[in-house]
Copies of this chain bind each other. A is one copy, B any other.
Amino acid sequence: MGAGVRPRAAVVVTGSELLTGTISDRNGPWLSRELAALGFEVAHVQLVGDRPGDLTRALQLAAEDGCVLVVTSGGLGPTADDLTGAVVAEFAGVDLVLDEAMQARIAGILAGFAARTGFGGPALEAANRKQAMVPRGALALDPVGTAPGLVVSRPGGPLVVVLPGPPRELQGMWPAALAAAPVRELLAGVPAASARSLRYFGLPESEIAATLREIETQQDVSDVEITTCLRRSELEVDLRPLPGAEPVAAAVHAELAAKHARHLVSADGTSTDELLAAALRERGWTVATGESCTGGMLAARLVDLAGSSEYVAGGVVAYSNAAKTDLLGVPAELIAAHGAVSPEVARALADGARERFGADVGIGITGVAGPGGGTEAKPVGYVCFCVTTGDGQVIARDPRLPGSRADIRERATDAGMHLLLRAASPR
């Protein structure tokens, strides 16, 4: 079809703690999204341990795969297992030199740290010197924590951007990395990205697969990368055209939106959280929660977005029966008659939350998260939801959700968001 290609980039995340499962990497996904948004095709994300050989191989693989840019995270700290600077220097064929200006800058930062915490002395001084060693000819990026970043040009490519491991420092340093001259020059040659995405709720992946097969009988979509991704109860479909294939992506997007309109949540990448926030703001509504099995997860999710104090009144985690009665006015007789996990109690939790917080919309969630506590009538995964509003809406559901305790609680939180969105959406 004559579509162009996208230059490739790679991400290399270092840290043995990532290979022992001690911690989950947050930098790979973040950097991937940034690089894709800049118009790169991300070839791979490699997580490697703090072993010089493995890090070198990862850099070599990126070079062999034709990547023009590699972004690394981690390995810039003060301990001996932090060796990214040295390995990247060797990869670029240069030696490490002490950057005295950087050493002075780090010393200033560390002095403040020592004064604040009482930790200081030789331990900090050794850390300072190690962190100020940079590959000859490289550009050092100012620390966000104590570790400087690096931009290292390798003859023949790729360009290597070295960032610190803590996500806050990495993300804080990213704008400076993009503004560095060698990176700016590289970006000038990258065609703009034009991704489109669709988000569905309650639609199985096989339905999208069938629709895509139908579309493929009518037109060639091979220049659009189409990925479907099931995220708990939501299905996200992303369309990423190669340069020149944007019209094909637009046509596929329109067809997928029309064909499954009933399950469509958004066709422009807006998240459920953002849609709900906008709908509540639009109506001038406040929301209150009465949660049992989700234990505060729904309230926490509502508060995730900045500015949520405008529309979140508050919530009660009513884990015990006494709390349901004392704090949300659920009649003890109602619990005795129907059980704590019942549509009746879910409604009473919603009404109680709405009334106690003086909110416009209330939601009650009560269920069996497991692993224990299930019965034949109310098995593990059985969750009752109810949303009630001051203008008389009542939306109730009582599905059986699959998975582990954590899965059930996450899915219940998701479902709660969608029920709230339904109540608050314009009709």
Residue from the list B32, B44, B296 in contact with A299, Cβ < 8 A? B296
Which A371-427 residues have C-beta < 8 A from chain B?
371-372, 402-407, 409
Interface string of A25-55 (1 = CB under 8 A from B): 1101111111010000011111111100010
- CB-CB < 8 A to A229: which residues of B? 15, 17, 22-23
Known: A21-B32, A195-B20, A296-B296. A79 touches B208 (CB 8 A): yes
Is A18's beta carbon under 8 Å from chain B? yes
Q: Whole-angstrom distance from the CB of A232 to the nearest CB of chain B?
A: 10
Whether A143 is near chain B, meaning CB under 8 Å from some CB there, is no
- A contact residues, range: 35 or more
Once the chains bind, are B306 and A327 in contact (CB under 8 Å)? no
Q: Within 8 Å CB of A319, what residues of B?
A: 303, 308-309, 312-314
Which A residues between 300 and 329 are near B, CB-CB below 8 angstroms?
300, 302-304, 306-309, 312-320, 322-323, 326-327
Chain A 213-255 residues near chain B, CB threshold 8 A: 213, 225-231, 236, 238, 240
Q: Which residue of B lies closest to A303 (CB)?
A: B295
Q: Which of B15, B21, B358 contacts A322 (CB 8 A)?
A: B358
Known: A319-B313, A357-B323. A44 touches B46 (CB 8 A): yes
Q: Do residues A117 and B204 form an inter-chain contact, with CB atoms below 8 A?
A: yes
Contact B306 A296 (CB under 8 A): no
Pick the residue among B45, B227, B313 that contacts A46 (CB under 8 A).
Answer: B45
Contacts of A57 in B (CB 8 A): 61, 65
Complex Cα distance A188/B309, Å?
Answer: 57
A209→B402 contact, CB < 8 A? no
User: Which of B19, B228, B238 is in CB contact (< 8 Å) with A44?
Assistant: B19
The chain B residue sitting closest to A400, CB to CB, is B116
Is the Cβ of B304 less than 8 Å from the Cβ of A406? Answer: yes
A99 close to chain B: CB less than 8 A: no
Is the pair B46, A327 in contact by a Cβ cutoff of 8 Å? no
Q: Is the CB of B371 within 8 A of A126?
A: no
Instruction: Report how far A124 CA is from B213 CA in the complex, Å.
Output: 13
A322→B45 CA distance, assembly (Å): 48
Candidates B210, B227, B306; contact of A371 at CB < 8 Å: B306
Confirm or deny: A109 has a beta carbon within 8 angstroms of a beta carbon on chain B: no
The answer to whether A299 and B303 touch across the interface, beta carbons within 8 angstroms, is: no
By the criterion CB–CB under 8 Å, are B20 and A33 in contact?
yes
Bound-state CA distance A304–B405 (Å) is 8
Bound Cα distance from A225 to B313, whole angstroms: 50
- Chain B residue with the shortest CB-CB distance to A230: B166
7 intermolecular pairs with C-beta atoms under 8 Å apart: A17-B229, A17-B236, A19-B32, A20-B36, A79-B228, A113-B204, A296-B315
Q: A21-B30, A25-B29 are in contact. List 20 more A-B contacts (CB 8 A).
A: A17-B238, A21-B34, A23-B29, A25-B25, A42-B49, A57-B61, A77-B205, A113-B204, A123-B209, A124-B206, A171-B404, A294-B303, A296-B298, A306-B372, A309-B319, A313-B322, A314-B319, A316-B327, A323-B357, A326-B356
